[in-house]
Structure 1
Amino acid sequence: MNDIRRDTPLSAGGSGDIPATPRASILVINCGSSSIKFAVFGARRETLIISGLAERLGSPEARMLWKIDGERHERSMPGADLEAALRAMLEVLPPNLQLLGIGHRVVHGAEEFSGSVLIDDAVLAAVERCVPLAPLHNPANLAGIRAARHVFPDTPQVAVFDTAFHQTLPRHAYLYAVPREWYTRDRVRRYGFHGTSHRYVSAEAARRLGKDPSEIGLITAHLGNGCSACAVDRGRSVDTTMGISPLEGLVMGTRSGDIDPALHEYMAARRGWDLPRIMRALNRESGLLGLSGLSNDMRTLVEAADNGNDDARLAIDVFCYRLAKAISALSAALSRLDAIVFTGGIGEHSPVVRARTAEHLHLLGVDLDPELNAANGEPETGRISKSGARTCLVIPTNEELMIARDTLSVIRNP
């Protein structure tokens, strides 16, 4: 096994400077039910040192894929669990790394957390209390944290929450029009997700515009297999499309997004389905996949539409219209709108989606430059809009880097 230093010179009770060693680094972990994504960043220059994925954990097909120094590698790990995967990851890290801390993505922090925190037993108990709000995600996040604490017992570990950025929503934005005790007793409210991505790209947009984040208003659209949009006013989230769960809001790869709640009763009566069956359909069989009957992958749908597939074309049209409708609605939350930002796999790489969405946004002054849009943005700024039109930008997200930054900040100032 490589010689990995797991200590940190930072004091446990106060701030400290980044150590002088060039090997000082932060490990980022994103743990799913049967996979772990990981990345290591240099603490000083934020350089990506290694990234990888351990997948199919707990099965005979378990394996680890990683990339370092531009080269891709693969290792079979039959039957490996989370802890075994973390120990295997240790063996492929560059020698003599000094791990200052480990940052964990945690999907749901409810109202318990408005920022990233140093993990201790009390934090773990609070994350556990949020499991009913994210039963598919938080248990896996907790399992990853516990495994990492066992493998790295002396390394500070930090929880970074998808929901935290949206804790600045005003009450009129996060409350649903349901009996008030649903909120006070059952915690029913809009929480929002993709917060780490929205926070990263909104700060990056301000930098590219030459503005301080506190001076501008933005709408950010994170578009991937999961999709959400966010109104960011002076660096703070003031409204977002996802709700108590990631099912609400935009059309997504396999999720329906917004629907009439009476649909549950209607489908139960029509098909005899119970609630879990209906929820499975809305989460896994809907969205682009359900509309097209073909795929949840936008690239596949664009190609199929170009070849005359009407269902694929319709799925894209619905996706783009609903996105434009949400962007228009979110503008009501802002005092000014300096730019619309596209990010995520679709947002960064689909000129077709951006162009079709823009066609519905003429009232906001959106007019894209076809050449810049086709190139996924001007090299320096990411601008895809025509001069004099509403500024639209394409900015690649970097949630792992944002988690690394938060981790370093928290361990320096616990």
Structure 2
Amino acid sequence: MAVERGSSFEGGGRAGRSGGASPSFDPLDPLGLDDLLSDEDRAVRETVRRWAADRVLPNIAEWYERGELPGIRELARELGAIGALGMSLDGYGCAGASAVQYGLACLELEAADSGIRSLVSVQGSLAMYAIHRYGSEAQKREWLPRMAAGEVIGCFGLTEPDHGSDPAGMTTYAKRDGTDWVLTGRKMWITNGSVAGVAVVWARTDEGIRGFVVPTDAPGFSAPEIRHKWSLRASVTSELVLDDVRLPADAVLPEVSGLRGPLSCLSHARYGIVWGSMGAARSCFESALDYARSREQFGRPIGAFQLTQAKLADMAVELHKGILLAHHLGRRMDAGRLRPEQVSFGKLNNVREAIEICRTARTILGANGISLEYPVMRHATNLESVLTYEGTVEMHQLVLGKALTGLDAFR
């Protein structure tokens, strides 16, 4: 039983300046954050929410239990049809949506499951973003329209088996051979890897770190899927193996060299996580709220007990503070004023608080909290991955520490 929007407690408000009655209190939007959204923002949110409700929520528990994401190519085409792939990019078949609209989409997708949001984030904010920002015109025309339509799935190869938080230590190498490039190395924990038609791979060269657009049918490229995960189970995760993969000269991304390229892509993806993590938290909060109002112990609903109400109040405060923070960062991105340190601020806070909300929701549901009949444990385990990918807690703390003190603690 869902909590109905617009339900309220009677009384308790002063009339507004216009003299009208105060708006009713909405338990699902206690700060009235919907007032910050335009009609177009709401339309984008509802489109993604309906798609997730129709295509993901009826199946996600089974997919998670089986540890697979069946029909991923069909799902990608459907996401392309509603404009969710590369949606904040302009041209080449992309929707050109605002940063806030992209964030709202991420929130709704992760409210369904982190694996679905990861599919969209890696496609749009990593692979497509890299090509859109740093690629040649020929690369953009070749790949972006098909990726925006979901006809081609992309992946992003930066992390290596021995180099996660320190990408500067990567050992994947690209050497020149005549006019060609030859890539050798391995990448690890790559979302979409084994179903991708194109990979953006970062490699060390004699000229510094460069990005390469790699068709996955190139000889020497393989992407064995990683199994036995207990998090992001409804997501395709792979290793990339580059065994003397030969590429033409024009496979390199021409507009960037050094770590600035991949790190800017990661910042764009982290922004989506700031919103998405609040989707997982919202799902758990709403599940706990519904359960507290209907589950009876000692002769009354457990939501009538003070300790349960304290938990729900704290969860609501952190959830909606996190959404407000995400909205603020989105407006800054739309204004061209968002800094990477501010994205670290949002990622650090929102994922950390989302996990705590999930854990608190699990205590309210008791034993039912561990059942896949409810979304809580699934979200909690997924967020354990979200906590460490795109930068661990410690890395974002150090980013903020350096920004606050002017002193670099990384080395």
TM-score (norm 1): 0.24
Q: Which has the higher strand share?
A: 1
